[in-house]
Amino acid sequence: MVDMKKMKNKIVALWIIVFALSSLQVFAQREPSEFTIFGGGGLSFFGYQAPVEKVSSIGYHGDIGVGFTGFVSRMCGFHVGAGFGLLNVKARVGNLKNLTPGKIDDNDYPFDLHASLLGYSEVHKTLFVSVPLLFQFQTKQNQYRGSGKSFYAMSGVKLLMLFNTTCDTRVANLYNAAYYPEFDNWAATQKFAGLGTFDGITGSEKFGVALLPMFTFETGIKWNLKAGLLLYTGVYFDCALTDPTKKNRTPVSELNTTESSLSLLALYKKSSVMDLGIKLRLAFYKSNTNNSYKKKSPQKTPCNYTY
């Protein structure tokens, strides 16, 4: 069955891209436009709102792509592009103890499940296609004349399409014990039911295609290398606007060895992907003959002779 909400979001995103491209075509007729080739990369993290301590994450990412910038004035413009990249982040959790009361076993007896984890880690790997929609501001007005440099800043939204996403998990030690209040008794040796001590548990899970919007900010220096050629050198920060792991989590109380694989833990109320890195852009531009970026030649004044 088709998910109408997801279909609606995809249609809205497509219309935004079409509108941005149409707008840039109009802008490019009035001011110099730039075609860019970019590459970048850096560190990636998960931002947690976690009820447990000792939650950490670190990884890397990188992407390459092309873009187009149309300027509405000498200092302001809009940028749209397309890129391809990869993301690899590893998250670690220290010791964790969790109590889930009121569970029911196969014989309809209520029990409280005590779960203890030691050395939990998960590695997220994904490929993505990105479409940035950014506003650009630059400081120097005569940057297209001769050599020189100017400062620039870009901000907006990047729409990422995630695919080929996997999550590999590992638990150094898992201990599950069930307490039955009705009998005042513990059960912790029935490994066939996921109770007891288990070492070195691993699992892997693949996710489907997903859309992830991210806020992005980039700033740096714009170098005028020669006529028609510019170089952007900058740093950037990206932050996901939605939680890409929310629907794939499994509560701690549900983790046991009877499952085919371990999934994401419900350790945190919310998580978001954050990127910090360096970006290089090589920009090619061509000034229109009727705009003010082209240096005007001096006007000759007629000489008046008196006889």
**Residue 307 pLDDT:** 40
**Residue 31 pLDDT:** 63
**Residue 81 pLDDT:** 94
- The pTM assigned to this predicted structure is 0.76
Please state, in angstroms and rounded to a whole number, the distance separating the CA atoms of residues 160 and 184: 53
What's the distance, CA 269 to chain centroid?
Answer: 19
Please state, in angstroms and rounded to a whole number, the distance separating the CA atoms of residues 41 and 277: 5
Q: What is the mean pLDDT of each run of 10 residues along the chain (307 residues)?
A: 53 57 52 89 85 80 94 88 95 82 86 87 93 91 64 95 90 89 90 85 85 94 88 95 77 61 67 92 74 47 46
State whether residue 197 is helix, strand or coil: strand
Look at the block and give the residue holding tokens 């700033």. Answer: 219
**CB contact set of 111 (below 8 Å; sequence gap of 6+):** 103, 104, 105, 178, 179, 180, 181, 187
Please state, in angstroms and rounded to a whole number, the distance separating the CA atoms of residues 48 and 60: 17
Q: How far is CA 212 from CA 2, 47, 215, 276, 296, in A?
A: 19, 15, 10, 17, 47
State whether residue 230 is helix, strand or coil: strand
Pairing of strands 229-240, 270-286: antiparallel
